[in-house]
């Protein structure tokens, strides 16, 4: 599926009940599509965004993170994040944006070091344990979209494996060019 050039206005509810408008009328929105609640790779990735959240805010970027997990399962893993997380257990929004799943998510060797690092941090209690049987499985692929206030998609990336997503530096670079 080709990436969208614009999006239709949408409203989402975060797991904390916050109403999220996309596009945001004043700021860029970075939509992150992650895998399942408690995913060690996702936890590791999101911590890099937590540590640089102020920098993203100063650049006018609002983070909104989707997971294909139920809200109750997601809330326990994302309660301490300084940005909105949205549960999409039926993958309605994932399909709308063309975000896929596949065995290559975990089989690609480029994702293995993140699997090991994230799993090690989970094992020592830094991250909560994921469900043994996460909703929609473990084979989701990440995707990133940067959306301008006027609904134009400034940039997007469809991950080819479980650890193939934008870094904070990439989001900031796209925002600067936007």
Q: Is residue 94 part of a domain?
A: yes
Number of domains in the chain: 1
Residue 1 lies in a domain: no
Highest mean pLDDT (candidates 25-29, 79-83, 107-111) = 25-29
Domain annotation covers residue 2: no
Residue 3 domain flag: no
- CA 158 to chain CA centroid, Å, is 11
Q: How many CB atoms lie within 10 A of CB 25?
A: 8
**Structural domain boundaries enclosing 93:** 10-177
82: domain CATH number? 3.40.30.10
Q: How far is CA 96 from CA 31, 40, 136, in A?
A: 13, 25, 16
**pLDDT tens profile 154-170:** 999 998 887 889 999 99
Alpha-carbon torsion 170, 173, 177, 178, what sign?
Answer: positive
Determine how many CB atoms are found less than 10 A away from the CB of residue 111. 21
Rounded Cα distance, 80 and 161, in Å: 26
Q: Confirm whether 103 is domain-assigned.
A: yes
Q: Give the pLDDT band (50/70/90) at residue 112.
A: low
pLDDT given at position 126: 47
For the chain, give the longest Cα–Cα distance.
44
User: Which pLDDT does position 74 carry in this prediction?
Assistant: 82
Helices assigned H by DSSP within the chain: 40-51, 53-58, 71-78, 92-96, 104-107, 112-123, 168-177
């Amino acid at each position: 599926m080709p990436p969208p050039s614009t999006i239709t206005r949408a409203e989402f509810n975060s797991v904390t009940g916050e109403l999220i408008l996309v596009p945001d009328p004043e700021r860029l929105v970075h939509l992150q599509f992650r895998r399942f609640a408690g995913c060690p790779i996702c936890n590791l990735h999101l911590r890099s965004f937590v540590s640089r959240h102020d920098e993203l805010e100063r650049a006018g970027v609002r983070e909104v993170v989707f997971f294909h997990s139920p809200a109750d399962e997601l809330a326990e893993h994302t309660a301490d994040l300084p940005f909105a997380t949205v549960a999409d257990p039926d993958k309605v929004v994932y399909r709308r944006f063309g975000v896929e799943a596949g065995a290559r998510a975990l089989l690609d060797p480029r994702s293995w070091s993140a699997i090991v690092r994230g799993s090690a941090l989970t094992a020592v209690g830094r991250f909560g344990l994921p469900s043994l049987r996460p909703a929609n499985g473990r084979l989701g692929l990440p995707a990133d979209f940067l959306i301008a206030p006027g609904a134009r998609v400034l940039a997007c990336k469809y991950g080819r494996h479980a650890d193939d997503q934008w870094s904070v530096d990439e989001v900031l670079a796209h925002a600067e060019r936007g």
